Structure 1
């Protein structure tokens, strides 16, 4: 009997949260679950789009509002400061009140913040709106990663690791769409209104959020794993039947079975004996990616215009080309290798390639001839490619698969908050570093590619894809009924 027919025909009785986790781990991918995955990835798309919009437009914002380097850093870092708050509160709420309600409230916030930012009359309104957009981004990632993990099976094609890694090509697809829109607007807008490029691109970010809001009732649902962990087995079983095509039935409406508690209310659980090493690795990954990504990906248009002296059209088209040819392609490769290779090995390969690329960029400096210009651009492309298949994809695989569902939102939220702090610092100091150190900034940033090689390669060798943390046996001597179908 095929898996699909087994799922549709056999009856499964569930009497513990562990039963639900095992069924999802084994059979997820059928029914409506693929649509939930796509909705979660659209949420990631919105995150990336919003974070990308000012990477080109920051120069226009500086000119329109006559910003100093310090105020430029404030505007650039406002959205990241918002993500720090959003990550912490969003991760906690995701575990506390559920994935669905947090996700939908977040989409509404996206729409409002994007429109206000696009029509900002002054820099202070823009800063506040960008901060709120950052809160939305921060809230979204913990819940999106929870959806990707809890609606995917552990092994086989399109498993948890692959679907979590899919966040990276979706991120770069959003970046490419953003610059594609900017490029189109460049030709559409009259020359006297060219300063509306950054405003129009911000407003466009509200469209995918509105799409999710309109179609939520048809496809989106709560995570059955989260419901089961709240003791709501009957509700979890109904979602397994309706969305997963799993013929599951709860033996009781609700359960008071005591799971192994992880003190899920607080972040200190991430630093206990069980999770400390995992948290250290995740923190190192997130800080390293934050400083590198902010330098190369976010400030890529600034690098091209300041150091390579490209004009506006060349800057937009080159940035779009690098994102499509290298970053997006690398992200697709990351999805392919995530289900086939150990995350640790993929990370090491990506960080090593980035380290070499940054050293070469520092050696080239400001290119003095066409050959060096093209070499430097290729190095930027190689860095983006390595980010796509390595750290960029795996940075969400690590915390999402390292922590169980009961603390997944908190775990992902905390690590993303660490990223936010690092990015906020980077966005503030990088304009100053670029002004003072020029292309020597590449040498400084190469340190953030070297440190994880030592930590992950030599010190802590944790592998998150080795075991499914959601399919562990609970403490209560309860026998799981998932091992075989019930006889009707």
Structure 2
């Protein structure tokens, strides 16, 4: 623990200390627990990406029912995003996080053992609720347990959600690949079931170790007027030697009633409107593109490139690891050193090029064009990893202050859910009707954010710490009571 002693008088003091000194002690463990939550989100959303063909066969699904099964988890995320975002700001990060981990376990087990398609749909919907609830609270943890600038800053840690997402996707396909060789042929239809059940494992891990590392966010506690609890967490989780001023309770306004009145409409008030427009643009654009390329990647390889089952699994795994995951790792590096807006625009430009080129290639008629098409898919995934994929959570999380962060992230993720649900219904139809020309349609969703972010609204979320934006600029040296060094 630091030899310096800081006196806490106001909620802003807590925020300022964390903004400058976070990243020590148990706070890093909280970051990893939040990222494991993101891992579960990605894993659960990926499980039926390959397994949907087996589900269709096992339950004899019509195209309409296939769309219902595929979109049920996404529809659940819409509900979960809105409810989770509200509850994250209302009752705190810790309780919401633990509740959705328990929900994860139950939903994964029920889905894995579903006796019919209706139980599967219901379980996947509940699983979607848990995914939706988790992301607002996970992003709040990543932001509020990180310092604003320097190595491992807020932007870099928020961007880390992307490689974690693709690590989960890759693990999902690696597990499917392993089961492909391990399971006897007569049990091959259990591939999708086993992969769903495995999703409960990391959630159980968090539940078992929560007491040792996981705490409430001190920034949220401070904004609720609970300065003593927030100060205690600074000492136990951040190794910041802080003491509560005797005048703190009388000087700190109670904000519970203010928080209770906050709703989603605040995101559209003048001070936040431009940020909300940018965030919505990013989330809709990413949703349609990601659903096309990442979610339907096995279908693209099978339908358009005519790959075998084994080739589809191995190629999907390779593309996720070599391009999406490595792009996500690059995104962490870039997020800590460059403006988010510039990274986003570059990523969208590369994606637009990849999509237009894929439409030009069409159905590969020879091995050279086939490898070119796979390389273009890799380019799109790489650009997604370092650009829109990483930055889409940086924007809403760092654009809104702690008291509305859950609402902001939840609302934007709900927008993503609506866009994904629409995409899951229309894309199979578009792929059948337009074939590879569908890539030109999806390229529109790469061009629109280039125009909006690059030329119309140039908001930069990493320019300053939004948690201190509307508050007095506290000098940390004024908080310093004593330096024992």
- What interval of TM-score do these two structures reach, taking the shorter chain for normalisation? over 0.9
Q: Which residue of 2 aligns with 1:305?
A: 302
Is structure 2 residue 253 aligned with structure 1 residue 257? yes
Q: What is the alpha-carbon distance in structure 2 between the residues aligned to residue 304 and residue 483 of structure 1?
A: 61
Look up the SS of the partner of 1:157 in the other structure.
coil
Is structure 2 residue 216 aligned with structure 1 residue 219? no
In 2, are the aligned partners of 1:18 and 1:473 still within 8 Å (CA)? no
| Equivalent residue in structure 2 for 1:290, among 287, 292, 308 | 287
Deviation (angstroms), 1:147: 0.2
Q: What is the alpha-carbon distance in structure 2 between the residues aligned to residue 55 and residue 433 of structure 1?
A: 18
Q: Which residue of 2 aligns with 1:486?
A: 481
Q: 1:263 to 1:269 in 2, by over 3 A?
A: farther
Deviation (angstroms), 1:479: 7.2
Deviation (angstroms), 1:442: 0.6
In 2, are the aligned partners of 1:15 and 1:481 still within 8 Å (CA)? no
CA RMSD of aligned residues (A): 1.6
Q: Which residue of 2 aligns with 1:3?
A: none
Q: Which residue of 2 aligns with 1:401?
A: 398
Is structure 2 residue 215 aligned with structure 1 residue 186? no
Is structure 2 residue 197 aligned with structure 1 residue 203? yes
Deviation (angstroms), 1:264: 5.7
| Equivalent residue in structure 1 for 2:158, among 148, 161, 164 | 164
Q: 1:473 to 1:441 in 2, by over 3 A?
A: closer
| Equivalent residue in structure 2 for 1:448, among 425, 445, 448 | 445
| Equivalent residue in structure 1 for 2:146, among 148, 152, 157 | 152
| Equivalent residue in structure 2 for 1:46, among 40, 50, 59 | 40
Is structure 2 residue 389 aligned with structure 1 residue 389? no
Q: Which residue of 2 aligns with 1:4?
A: none
In 1, are the aligned partners of 2:12 and 2:474 still within 8 Å (CA)? no
Task: Please list the CA deviations of residues 198-256 of structure 1 after superposition, one character each: whole Å capped at 9, or x if unmatched.
Answer: 00000000000000000000000000000000000000000000000001111247454
Q: What is the alpha-carbon distance in structure 2 between the residues aligned to residue 194 and residue 187 of structure 1?
A: 9
In 1, are the aligned partners of 2:13 and 2:474 still within 8 Å (CA)? no
| Equivalent residue in structure 2 for 1:323, among 311, 320, 323 | 320
Q: Which residue of 1 aligns with 2:339?
A: 342
In 1, are the aligned partners of 2:142 and 2:154 still within 8 Å (CA)? yes
Is structure 2 residue 56 aligned with structure 1 residue 62? yes
Q: Which residue of 1 aligns with 2:407?
A: 410
Q: What is the alpha-carbon distance in structure 2 between the residues aligned to residue 250 and residue 482 of structure 1?
A: 16
In 2, are the aligned partners of 1:398 and 1:464 still within 8 Å (CA)? yes
Q: After the TM superposition, which of the residue ranges 8-17 and 167-176 deviates more from structure 2?
A: 8-17
Q: Normalising to structure 1: TM-score of the pair?
A: 0.96
5+ residue gaps, structure 2, are none
Q: 1:479 to 1:412 in 2, by over 3 A?
A: closer
Task: Please list the CA deviations of residues 28-79 of structure 1 after superposition, one character each: whole Å capped at 9, or x if unmatched.
Answer: 0011111000000000000000000000001111111111111111111000
Deviation (angstroms), 1:8: 1.1
Look up the SS of the partner of 2:271 in the other structure.
coil
- Paired residues, number: 480
Q: What is the alpha-carbon distance in structure 2 between the residues aligned to residue 336 and residue 300 of structure 1?
A: 27
Is structure 2 residue 107 aligned with structure 1 residue 113? yes
Q: Which residue of 1 aligns with 2:468?
A: 471
Q: What is the alpha-carbon distance in structure 2 between the residues aligned to residue 158 and residue 102 of structure 1?
A: 25
5+ residue gaps, structure 1, are 1-6
Q: 1:264 to 1:358 in 2, by over 3 A?
A: farther
Q: What is the alpha-carbon distance in structure 2 between the residues aligned to residue 32 and residue 271 of structure 1?
A: 36
Q: What is the alpha-carbon distance in structure 1 between the residues aligned to residue 258 and residue 82 of structure 2?
A: 20
Deviation (angstroms), 1:483: 3.5
